[in-house]
Structure 1
Amino acid sequence: MNDRVTLAGQLRVWRARAQPGDAGVRSLAGARRTSGLRREELAALACVSPDYIKRLEQGRANPSGPVLRALSRALHLSEAEYVLACQLAGHACETEGLVPQRISPSVLRLIDRLGRVPIAVFDAAWTHLDHNDMWPALTGVDWMGRRGRAANMVWMTFVEDSAPVHVRHPDPRQHKASMVADLREVAARYPADLELRGMIRDLRSASTEFADLWASGCVAAHSTAHKTIDHPLVGRMELDCDTLSSHGCNVRIVVFTAEPGTESAEKLRVLSADSAENPGHIHP
């Protein structure tokens, strides 16, 4: 009998204990045929293929650092469990020096219960972690297919700039300056996060605008903002955007709302009904 602790074995245990509801996975009609998360569900949450999860659980593959962090977040591992996973994968683990990417159960409940308004959770460096069905319906982005830089709002703003839904800010320069200031503050708090340092280096190289704002030493704080959104399904909406903080897990919670009784509120209701009927649908 082999009692050796392996990453493959631990991943099987952690997947079996994971509760689909806690991970934001909706239960379909009929009884589940397996306890915990299915491989396909874990794969979708971690942005990898089901076959890759299978190979990991059979000990035929070894995850990279970013993939291990994504798996840890999807499985809601504790810090001690994440450290063990890193050790079993042969990776150095500096949890104190990395930007936290764990979401508390209370924040997950918040996402679930605010289903009629677009809400998403980002880490302190603006990397997307989770959202409700209304968020992709509003933004037109397939967030579940993104990981790392591709899921980072700062990278998307300065490098990609290709969102299918156009968002107009009252003061675009101030909005971008606030994102750069956020990144500067986070980089100072987590100097050992090599992924963050690498992204900032590449942002300065890829975007002249980012490089100029970074060099200027800009300081700007995020606050409630009024934004105009041109949506392909419902047209123009005037929405308030609030960025909230959760001190327990160091994440940013972004929520869009409309003033009650307005045309924008009705359009948001239409978008909510559409997302409920077509969960996961992305408007072109």
Structure 2
Amino acid sequence: MDRQELAAFLRSRRERIVPADVGLPAGPRRRTPGLRREEAAQLAFISTEYYTRLEQARGPRPSQEVLAGLARALRLSDAERDHLHRLAGAPPARAPGPSREVRQSILDLLRRLPQAAAIVTSAMYEIIAWNDLAAALMEDFSALSRRDRNLVRRVFLGPHPQGRRLYGVSDADGFARLSAIHLRAAAARYPDDPEVAELVRELHEGSEEFARLWDSHDVAGAPAMTKTFQHPLVGPVTVNCDVLDITDRDQRVVIYTAVPGSPSEQALRLLAVVGTQRMDVPT
């Protein structure tokens, strides 16, 4: 364990975090850059005294649980988390499950795409971030539970309002096959994660289609680059679909854009104004 380097690393990571990034007020009397020690300790679920001793190079070797808490509290990347483990004299632990934390730069990117609908999905196909246009095109994800924001669960188990599968998208069957393939790969990467195992079990028991696809053991599939959403207010919206892999987080950014000057572009512009209001439902 390199106590001096560990102390310096913790201090440097703590001081770079803007309090607002973790939901804390800046306050008029804040004299230290970034988080205070007691704030970092609270976010890591350890005592302030213990955290202070670590930053003063006086602490004992942290346990795996403490290191996981520090990595979460200080918003460390995978590379930084591994470095933290090495400084603490502990082998880097394999991520127990798919990451649900989205980098701030990716969240900023979503907000800077006002004419494109964009979402971020985890390795389990849970929608973990989205912009306003994506919510208008698909659904108000903020009103859903984590469980109901999972696209692979939705395509196989529903709900399917008015018989429309996965928001009436034209490639729903192809998406179902591809998502089963990707979920099998995720299950192999996270064999000890209970949420992944439970999702696979639920889908296998609840959907004959998923069971058939899962039991086929396919490991390759091509995504659709163009798809059409059947929107209840503006009708069909045809979009190009581009997927950007965030390798270090095992996440994907999915961006939907319409051809400039097309009726679908006009439909997206209308949805950007209307938002998630349901004007097709009488009040």
Q: TM-score range by the shorter chain?
A: 0.5 to 0.7
Which residue pairs with 1:190 in the alignment? 190
SS of the aligned residue for 2:248 comes to coil
For each residue in 1:76-126, what CA deviation from the matched residue of structure 2 results, as whole angstroms up to 9, or x when unmatched? 84479x9xxxxxxxxxxx762211112112211111111221111111111
Unaligned runs of 5+ in 1: 1-15, 26-32, 37-68, 83-93
Which residue pairs with 1:157 in the alignment? 155
Unaligned runs of 5+ in 2: 1-16, 28-67, 82-92
Percent of paired sites with the same residue: 29
Q: Measured at CA, do residues 260 and 176 of structure 1 come closer, stay the same or move farther in structure 2, by a change above 3 Å? A: same
Which residue pairs with 1:98 in the alignment? 97
State the shift of 1:232 in Å: 1.9
1:124 and 1:186 in contact (8 A); partners too: yes
Q: Measured at CA, do residues 282 and 18 of structure 1 come closer, stay the same or move farther in structure 2, by a change above 3 Å? A: farther
1:137 and 1:271 in contact (8 A); partners too: yes
Alignment partners' CA distance in 1, 2:277 and 2:75: 29
Greater Cα offset, 127-136 or 216-225 = 216-225
Which residue pairs with 1:231 in the alignment? 231
Over alpha carbons, which structure has the higher Rg? 2
State the shift of 1:169 in Å: 2.3
Alignment partners' CA distance in 1, 2:74 and 2:125: 19
SS of the aligned residue for 2:168 comes to strand
Alignment partners' CA distance in 2, 1:195 and 1:234: 36
Which residue pairs with 1:10 in the alignment? none
Alignment partners' CA distance in 1, 2:107 and 2:94: 22
For each residue in 1:40-75, what CA deviation from the matched residue of structure 2 results, as whole angstroms up to 9, or x when unmatched? xxxxxxxxxxxxxxxxxxxxxxxxxxxxx9xx98x8
State the shift of 1:145 in Å: 2.8
Which AA in structure 2 matches 1:120? I
State the shift of 1:194 in Å: 0.9
State the shift of 1:224 in Å: 4.5
2:124 and 2:186 in contact (8 A); partners too: yes
Cα RMSD, aligned residues only = 3.4
Q: Measured at CA, do residues 76 and 136 of structure 1 come closer, stay the same or move farther in structure 2, by a change above 3 Å? A: farther
Alignment partners' CA distance in 2, 1:198 and 1:35: 40
What TM-score results when the alignment is normalised by the length of structure 2?
0.63
What TM-score results when the alignment is normalised by the length of structure 1?
0.63
